[in-house]
Amino acid sequence: MRAALLLLLVATVSNVVAMATDNEIQLRPRSTRTEPAVARNGMIATSEPLAVETGLRILKQGGNAVDAAIAAGAMIGLTEPMSCGIGGDLFAIVWDAKTQKLYGLNASGRAPYAATIEEYRRRGHRYVPIRGPLSWTVPGCVDGWAELHRKFGSMPWAELFEPAIQAAENGFPVAPKIARAWAASRNLLRQWETSANTYLPNGRAPRAGELFRNPDLARTYRLIASGGRDAFYRGPIAERIVAESRRLGGLFTLKDFEDHRSTWVEPVSTTYKGYTVWELPPNGQGIAVLQMLNILEGFDLKSMGHNTAEYLHVLIETKKIVFEDRAAYYADPEFADVPIAALISKKYAAHRRRLIDLNRARLEVPLEDPRLVVSDTIYMTVVDKDRNCVSYIQSNYYGFGSGIVPDGLGFCLQNRGALFALDPKHPNCLQPHKRPFHTIIPAFVTREGKPGFCFGVMGGDMQPQGQVQVLLNMIEFGMDPQKAGAAPRFCHFGSSTPRADHHMTDGGRVGLEHGIGEEVRQGLRRKGHTLLPPGGAFGGFQGILIDHKRGLLIGGSEVRKDGYAAGY
């Protein structure tokens, strides 16, 4: 084994495993703010407590990782409704213990057939609106659940919805950080009567610890539990959504729902110092992680020191370069020629690495064709007793998505369509039945053909940046999953996005989390970086490390969220 792997495992074991007098390993079933969870049989980590408990209950009942992810996904759509739900999309990477193989699921939805650039321009739009019915794409979540269950599920479909149905009918206590996010969206929800009726009982957002009930969502879940995915796409739920679309001037028809299908895709990978890191190909942004790692592998990051000005400078400059490629090339490969192999190649990374000046921030990044050089949420991870693994992410995009709850259904519809460009020359331009560029990305790490680390970081553009920082914290600096996720992070803003120009003019802005000191801030300023005031959003991490030697699962969960990692 390489020194990096030994360092990681030694640091992990020394931090999380206490030895009892009989020389047996002392397990810690739940993570804390400073220590990871340690368990033998199964584990789940996500951002909301009831979702964690739901997934853990399914594992203890004999369900596998996919069963637990679906049940927890239904629960968190109820309990963290601003972040995700059945009005949104999901992506997943599954390690199947039986076949010893990774599978990728793209369960993102497509634009309505009536959605054309000409129609949006006729309505006076230069960009796809951020909120409202014109930001809608077909929700892919339910079909994603159905595909996961069809291929890997072991428990009856209907049983997986019962915990969420009971919580929706009887009520659940709202978690503190979720309550704050809920309150921040109150003005949005008040714009639509159906949204306010669902999510602002008594005219306000529920406070932390208050019980919230959603009987409409309970009824919707019962329809899905009894009727399967067709209840959503070919039955009363689709009919209700389309009726709401007609009432509000949207573009949905029943055919948009009838024709929706998720797609099983081959995950793509690169290596970093002996580890193989896996992501899903576009229309998501997962390959940005692979591109960043390829560039960073050429630097001696460990010698720079963790979160020093020199270290952060290299990461920020790498992010700028990769996000220029993201803006130019990432799109639905069914509609655009996306040069995936070229973008994630080591040769292209070496070429782009030359753009980094170790002493000065770059204000503009040139765009190149990689083929000429090379010849957005909640995240959840589940591992079961057989070491089936699910790296799983689902999202509404913005908080409460489009802001609109179809009458009587109990969930809001996403606003992923806002990521389309209305420039017909752009690969991510709006077209009928096309998937938009997507920000949500599950991740997975293997070592010598075995599952090693199942993880993700939610948070829009922060996701690739956060994934890279967590991986480097573990591989370069030997942190366990909890410490790797809790360490202060940076977030760079201002690189191009699919709806912006391809070139930056000012180098963007850098947000630094509390815990990164003034000396580092001054060092970055001297290199030419423009810093934002302290504070802001830095994503939400969850991860489970598989220690095959000791037969342990070691889980970390985002201290910036309400949830935790738990196992048994």
271 is an active site residue: no
Side chain identity at residue 144, one-letter code: G
User: What are residue 429's DSSP bridge partners?
Assistant: 421
Q: What are 344's two structure tokens? A: 């994630």
Mean of pLDDT values over 45-57: 97
pLDDT in tens, 299-311: 999 999 999 999 9
Half-sphere exposure of 386 (CA within 13 A, CB side): 17
Helices (H), 249-345: 254-258, 287-296, 301-304, 309-329, 340-343
Q: What is the mean pLDDT of the chain?
A: 92
> Which backbone phi and psi does 556 adopt, to 5 degrees?
-125, 150
Residue 446 has a pLDDT of 97
Q: Which amino acid is at 448?
A: E
- Domains annotated for the chain, with CATH where assigned, are 3-40+265-378+437-567 (3.60.20.40), 49-85+113-262+402-419 (no CATH)
Written as six digits, the tokens of 451 are 């599952």
Q: Among residues 87, 84, 117, 90, which one has the least CA distance to residue 434? A: 117
Task: Look at 15-24, 181-190, 470-479 and tell me which has the smallest mean pLDDT.
Answer: 15-24
Q: Report the relative pairing of strands 43-46 and 378-383 from DSSP bridges.
A: antiparallel
DSSP class of residue 30? B
At residue 268 the predicted structure's pLDDT band, cuts being 50, 70 and 90, is: very high
What crossing angle do the helices spanning 49-60 and 162-170 adopt, rounded to 10°? 140
**Which one, of 238, 217, 212, lies nearest residue 84 by Cα?**
217
Evaluate whether 4 touches 273 at the Cβ level (below 8 Å): yes
CA gap 113, 251 in Å, rounded: 8
Q: What is the pTM of this model?
A: 0.92
In this prediction, residue 8 has a pLDDT band, given cuts at 50, 70 and 90, of very low
The order of strands in the sheet holding 552-557 is 37-39, 552-557, 540-547, 450-458, 443-447, 275-279, 268-272
For residue 207, pLDDT beyond 70: yes
Q: Which of 423, 440, 454, 349 is nearest to 97 (CA)?
A: 454
The percentage of the chain sitting over the pLDDT mark of 70, rounded to a whole number, equals: 92
Active-site residue among 12, 198, 377, 446? 377
